[in-house]
Amino acid sequence: MAEPVKRLRTIAPSFVALGPAGVAVRDRLKRLSVGDEEVLRLVGAHQGALASRDLKQRCADGPDHSTDTWAARKRGLTGESSSRIAGAITKASHDQWALARRCQTAHIQSLDAGIRTLRHRLALPIGEKGTKRAAGGYRSRSEWFRKSRRLAALEERHAAVVADWRAGRVRVVRGGKRLANTRHHLAAAELTEEQWRARWEAERWFLAADGESGKGFGNETIRVTPDGEVSIKLPAPLAHLANAEHGRYVLACRIAFAHRGAEWADRIEANRAVAYRIHLDVTRGRWYLTAAWQRPVIQTVPLATARAKGVVGVDTNADHFAAYRVDRHGNPVGDPQRFPYDLSGTADHRDAQIRHAITRLLHWAKSVGVKAIAIEDLDFTTEKTREKHGSRKRFRQLISGIPTGKLKARLASMAGGHGLAIVAVDPAYTSQWGGRHWQKPLVTPRRRVSRHDAAGIAIGRRALGHPIRRRTAPPPHDRSDRVGHRTVQAGPGSRRRDGNRPSATDRALGGPSPSGKRTRGPSASKTVRDAPSRHEWVQDSLMPTG
């Protein structure tokens, strides 16, 4: 009986990812006076209370929200603050409700996927093997029982979330749900009640203002002049604290954005909109000012333009990026590169590690002269990795360790600043085919190529539109003109396209080594027998010709 033919998954076409839509820079408010800090705390607490009340009203409105209810909320806040502050608070409440609504929809979809997978595996006989496309049955009756209980829990949770979604209810916590739950586990968090209370209050403050084009320096509520002077518009109940005209308070410190400072200065001098946010880092006891603005929508470069000078194929792993340069013909150039990172520790440490690795990757890509970076379009979800690869615990941990979401956001933003395009490719079979067709041919005595490095070549070739396989099957003897050539890496007019590929270690006599590390030639032999001769000998003759 013939074995069933395995069908490969359809490979999605590559595309150029969209660039960053906005910019955010931050600087520290140094040398604040005691009075400045007291004013910032009072303003933040007052406006934070207004924001909490407005968010509660917005959640109560639910899907019945309209422009009339929005205007009514804004009028109710204007008397206790100002028109601009009320507009910023109501807009922030609306954006937060919309974000919670989208997260609720995504949660429902995730629960649906998990329920479908559990039902499929529970319906199979115990011990039945799975395939690459679908997981098999559970290994034992005890595991089958535990998964049936999990299915019941997910179905109950799914019914509750769907009921909330139909009623328009969302669950939002100003200050963060994680920090709110930390109040009940202070010993595990190594915090005292006073330390937690300070963090909780700081997270619930509201010291932000949206920019306005055409107004003074792009923002009337929080104004920053080109020389670094920072002033804020005080709400009506706190107007008596003003130390400048028109109910404004000017901070004693000055600010200067080291990163993108010239771009920020050009915007405020042209009175273009810039949004500001003042926040306190309670752990360090430092105040910061964040400036953000939108960039004009720029059409992404065409795919053909992005890969005209070749690409750098990047394989994303749990602890490093494996990169390989691939020219426009699909041939690997140079040696593989690795950019490690450590994702253990705090969230700030993990984010810094990713940024540092991406920065080194971008600098190397610019140094080799490419205009695009090819990377897999990864989309891992919890239910996929937990149920689809149920018994493969180490593989689940490996997938969960890859920073897909943070990587996408960071890489697109940082690559746009370096003038590099991001080409997203389908991740199907890149590691498997790369290791099969590229790992062994590239290994030399001076160079080691891992499976991850070969996957980078496969990703780069897929981004360039080439097949991953190095060569097609050779044609029958004396029929190359009718059957076709064997190579898929050269154009029809290239000479010797049917010949064998030279070894990576071959080089001209006296030429540089393939790795580029050896700078001097081999020393001359000291024996007469091995000494090189400058004479040319004629066949069957012992007399030299010169």
Cα separation, 81 vs 161, in Å, equals 36
H-assigned helices in 341-467: 347-368, 382-383, 393-400, 404-417, 430-434, 440-442, 451-464
With residue 108 as reference, give the H or E element that holds it. Answer: helix 83-123
| Average pLDDT, rounded, for the chain | 82
CB atoms within 10 A of CB 25: 16
User: Each residue's pLDDT tens digit in the chain (546 positions)?
Assistant: 455 556 677 888 888 887 777 888 999 999 899 999 999 999 999 999 999 999 999 999 988 888 899 999 999 999 999 899 999 999 999 999 999 999 999 999 989 988 998 999 999 999 888 776 678 888 899 999 999 999 999 999 999 999 999 999 999 999 999 999 999 999 999 999 999 999 999 999 999 999 889 888 999 999 999 999 999 999 999 999 999 998 999 999 999 998 889 999 999 999 999 999 999 999 999 999 999 998 776 556 788 888 889 999 999 887 889 999 999 988 999 899 999 988 777 777 878 888 899 999 999 999 999 999 999 886 644 445 555 555 556 556 555 656 666 677 788 888 887 888 889 898 888 988 898 889 888 888 888 888 999 999 999 999 998 888 876 555 555 555 555 555 555 555 555 555 555 554 444 444 454 444 555 555 544 444 444 444 333 333 334 444
Q: Are residues 268 and 367 in the same domain?
A: no
- Backbone torsions φ then ψ of 199, nearest 5 degrees: -65, -45
> How many CA atoms does the CB half-sphere of 422 hold within 13 Å?
24
With a CB cutoff of 8 Å and minimum separation 6, the contacts of 427 are 376, 377, 378, 459
In a domain, 421, yes or no: yes
**Backbone angle region of 188, left / alpha / beta, with phi > 0 → left and psi within -120 to 50 → alpha:** alpha
Confidence (pLDDT) at 152: 96
Q: Which of 417, 441, 464 is the last residue of a domain?
A: 464
The contacts of residue 413 (CB under 8 Å, 6+ apart) are 20
The Cα–Cα gap between 19 and 420 comes to 10
Helices (H), 236-346: 261-269, 303-306
CATH of the domain at 420: 3.30.420.10
Would residue 516 count as lying in a domain?
no
Residue 85 sits in the same domain as residue 189: yes
Of 260, 294, 328, the residue that ends a domain is 294
Q: At what angle do helices 193-204 and 34-61 cross, to 10 degrees?
A: 70
Q: Quick one: 280 and 321 in the same domain?
A: no
Distances (CA, A) of 478 to 450, 483, 489, 490: 37, 9, 21, 21
Question: Among all chains, which residue has been given the structure tokens 């062994």?
Answer: 440
Whether 284 and 326 map to the same domain: the answer is: no
Neighbours of 422 (CB within 10 A): 24
> By C-alpha distance, which of 294, 293, 328 is closest to 308?
328
Q: With beta carbons less than 8 A apart as the criterion, state whether 470 and 441 touch.
A: yes
Q: How many Å apart are CA 257 and CA 265, to the nearest integer?
A: 9
Three-class DSSP category at 423: strand
Residues 189 and 78 grouped into a single domain: yes
Residues 198, 93 share a domain: yes
| CA 522/CA 49 separation, integer angstroms | 78
Range of the domain at 41: 22-294
The C-alpha atoms of residue 120 and residue 103 are separated, in whole angstroms, by 26
Query: Quick one: 225 and 323 in the same domain?
Result: no
Instruction: Looking at the structure, tell me whether residues 288 and 327 fall in a common domain.
Output: no
Q: Report CA torsion sign: 348, 297, 213, 76.
A: negative
282 and 377 part of one domain: no
Query: What pLDDT is recorded for position 455?
Result: 92
Per-residue confidence (pLDDT) for residue 415, from 0 to 100:
85
* Residue 485 forms part of a structural domain: no
Instruction: Note whether 190 and 308 are same-domain residues.
Output: no
> Is 372 contained in some domain?
yes
Q: Both tokens of residue 539?
A: 């066949």
Contact 233, 220 (CB under 8 A): yes
Per-residue model confidence (pLDDT) at position 440: 86
Q: For the chain, what is the domain count? A: 2
pLDDT at position 64 is: 86
Of 464, 482, 504, the residue that ends a domain is 464
pLDDT at 413: 80
The first and second tokens of residue 434, run together, are 């790369």
Q: How far apart are CA 187 and CA 164, in angstroms?
A: 34
* Distance, C-alpha 337 to centroid of its chain: 19
Separation of alpha carbons 477 and 473, rounded Å = 12
Residue 434 lies in a domain: yes
Q: Give the integer Cα–Cα distance in Å for 199 and 92.
A: 21
Domain identity same for 287 and 359: no
pTM: 0.71
